[in-house]
């Protein structure tokens, strides 16, 4: 299992969340990465944070989102970022975070987060119409798939999570 550098950026290139993870494998849903409890990450140039719980990450092929699956007692079972299509180069996966998040809290209803930030950044950062349309389409698809617990949001992640817990 090789180490992969995970790099989220904001539109315009500003560094967002970044950390290391291990490549666990791939399946029909995409590439699965994982990190153990104690992994250090950073948001932009802010001070490092230490994640107390492990997680598995899914980077689908040719889709405008990524997903983080979290074990108990994490508050959010699932956290999907609407992004540009993840790109792989030289041991790194990178994508642009487009603000919208689809979240499934443990024991709660799925919801769309940061729609206000998405609206604000459309103006402030000048998102082109094709980026806006792709992000909105991806968020709609995610809301339906996550709410309906369609693959890969149906427990598919559990075998991958077992590799890091």
Domain boundaries, the chain: 3-161
Per CATH, the homologous superfamily of domain 3-161 is FomD-like (2.40.380.10)
pLDDT digits (tens, 9 = 90+) for 79-112: 999 999 999 999 999 999 999 999 999 999 999 9
Task: Name the 3-class secondary structure at 72.
Answer: coil
How many CB atoms are closer than 10 A to CB 86?
24
pLDDT above 70: percentage of residues in the chain: 99
Pairwise CA distance, residues 16 & 146, whole Å: 24
């Amino acid at each position: 299992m090789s180490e992969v550098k995970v790099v989220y950026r904001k539109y315009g290139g500003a560094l967002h969340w970044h950390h290391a993870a291990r490549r666990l494998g791939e399946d029909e849903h995409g590439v699965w990465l994982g990190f153990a409890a104690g992994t250090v990450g950073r948001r932009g140039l802010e001070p490092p944070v230490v994640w107390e719980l492990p997680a598995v990450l899914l980077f689908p092929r040719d889709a405008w989102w990524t997903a983080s699956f979290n074990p108990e007692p994490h508050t959010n079972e699932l956290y999907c970022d609407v992004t540009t299509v993840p790109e792989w180069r030289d041991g790194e996966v990178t994508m642009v975070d487009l603000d919208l998040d689809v979240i499934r809290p443990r024991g709660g209803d799925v919801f769309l987060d940061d729609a206000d930030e998405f609206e604000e950044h459309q103006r402030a950062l000048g998102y082109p119409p094709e980026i806006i349309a792709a992000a909105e389409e991806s968020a709609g698809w995610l809301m339906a798939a996550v709410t309906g617990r369609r693959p890969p949001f149906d427990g598919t992640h559990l075998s991958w999570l077992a590799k890091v817990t």
